[in-house]
Amino acid sequence: MNVAVIMKQVPDTEALIKVAPDGSGYVKEGVKFVMNPYDEFGVEEALKNKESAGAKEVTIVSMGSERAVEAIRTGLAMGADKGVLLKIGENEYTDAFGVAKALAEELKGGDYKIIYCGKQAIDDDMAQVGPMVAQLLDIPCVNVVTSVELSGDKAVCTREIEGGKEIFEVSLPAVIACQKGLNEPRYASLPGIMKAKKKPLDIKDVKLEGAKSEIAKWEMPPERPAGRIIEGDDPAAKAAELVKALREEAKVI
């Protein structure tokens, strides 16, 4: 069986995001880009399937600008076998539906038993691509997954819901959207990084079509007014002052 991982390159979680003055996007200069943290769980799970569940080959499929090659190489250095980049221009825009369409088209030919992805990308926070790809391929999807057990042509997955868990059984092929807790992603080793340079990485130009939405405007969050340090002679006095303020000023308790 072959396994694919859908991966997106996103700004590092440390990045300070600045909206461009004309509201058309965010400033990319000076921003460090990394593999979407939730996708790392997908890569790790795919590699585990290779080590102990008989997966033959792990392919990383990404859509993005030329820069996304770096993130694909990170996945190859972790141990994936090959990469595919569906390349678009740095400032070309499509939405989750457009991305899902292109990815589904690419994945259709691959004979993949499992398609892993992150439960969401930490840049747009849309959480749509996994279930959309599954729908377009007409296969099941389990979302926000914290454990996967494979047996033959089936997978039993645990997913997080409000205040608990749901356990789903799906027949393969399926899309599994990963959540923190599923595993501990490995680091790319130095030999891994060396080997990654020689692994196949196919860059395909794709024509953007299928976007069904647009971002009308980007804005910065409203500034929070400066707060107040609660003073007092001892912890008890500070506590009393805080509770008074929460009651009388903020009116939240």
Partner 1 sequence: MAKEVLVFAEQRDGALKKVSFEMVTTGRKLADQMGGECAAVLVGDGVEGIAAELGKYGADKVFVVEDAKLKNYAPDLYAQAVAEVAKDAKILLGGASAMGKDLLPRVAARLETAMASDCVKFDLDGDALLSFRPVFAGKAFVTIKVTGSPQIATGRPKVFPAEENAKAGAVEKVSVSLGDAKAVLKETKIEAGDRVDLTEADIIVSGGRGMKGPDEYKILEELVDALGATATVGASRAAVDAGWRPHGDQVGQTGKTVSPSLYIAAGISGAIQHLAGMGSSKYIVAINKDPDAPIFSKADYGIVEDLFKVVPEITSEVKKLLAE
Considering only residues 28 through 57, tell me which ones interact with ligand FAD, judged by CB under 6 A: 37
> CB 151 → ligand FAD: shortest distance, Å?
32
The residue among 17 and 194 lying less far from partner 1, judged by its C-beta, is 17
The region, left, alpha or beta by phi > 0 then psi within -120 to 50, assigned to residue 251 is left
The tokens 């990469």 sit on which residue? 83
Confirm if 3 and 114 have CB atoms less than 8 A apart.
yes
The residue among 13 and 213 lying less far from ligand FAD, judged by its C-beta, is 13
What does the alpha-carbon distance between residue 55 and residue 151 come to, in Å, rounded to a whole number? Answer: 12
What does the alpha-carbon distance between residue 133 and residue 177 come to, in Å, rounded to a whole number? Answer: 11
Give the C-alpha distances (Å, rounded to integers) separating 187 from 31, 76, 77, 180.
22, 11, 8, 16
Using CB under 6 A as the binding rule, whether residue 13 contacts ligand FAD is answered as yes
What does the alpha-carbon distance between residue 179 and residue 120 come to, in Å, rounded to a whole number? Answer: 9
Instruction: From the list partner 1, ligand FAD, none, pick the one residue 11 interacts with, judged by a Cβ distance below 5 to 8 Å according to partner type.
Output: partner 1
Report the b/e string of 27-48 with b at 16+ CB within 10 A: eeeeeebbbbbbbbbbbbbbbb
The residue among 83 and 185 lying less far from partner 1, judged by its C-beta, is 185
> CB 160 → partner 1: shortest distance, Å?
6
The residue among 72 and 133 lying less far from partner 1, judged by its C-beta, is 133
The tokens 């439960």 sit on which residue? 119
Instruction: From the list ligand FAD, partner 1, none, pick the one residue 161 interacts with, judged by a Cβ distance below 5 to 8 Å according to partner type.
Output: partner 1
Instruction: From the list ligand FAD, partner 1, none, pick the one residue 136 interacts with, judged by a Cβ distance below 5 to 8 Å according to partner type.
Output: partner 1
> CB 179 → ligand FAD: shortest distance, Å?
12
> CB 37 → ligand FAD: shortest distance, Å?
5
Token code pair at residue 18: 């600045």
> CB 101 → partner 1: shortest distance, Å?
8
> CB 34 → ligand FAD: shortest distance, Å?
8
The residue among 35 and 88 lying less far from ligand FAD, judged by its C-beta, is 35
Q: Which residues bind ligand FAD (CB under 6 A)?
A: 13, 37
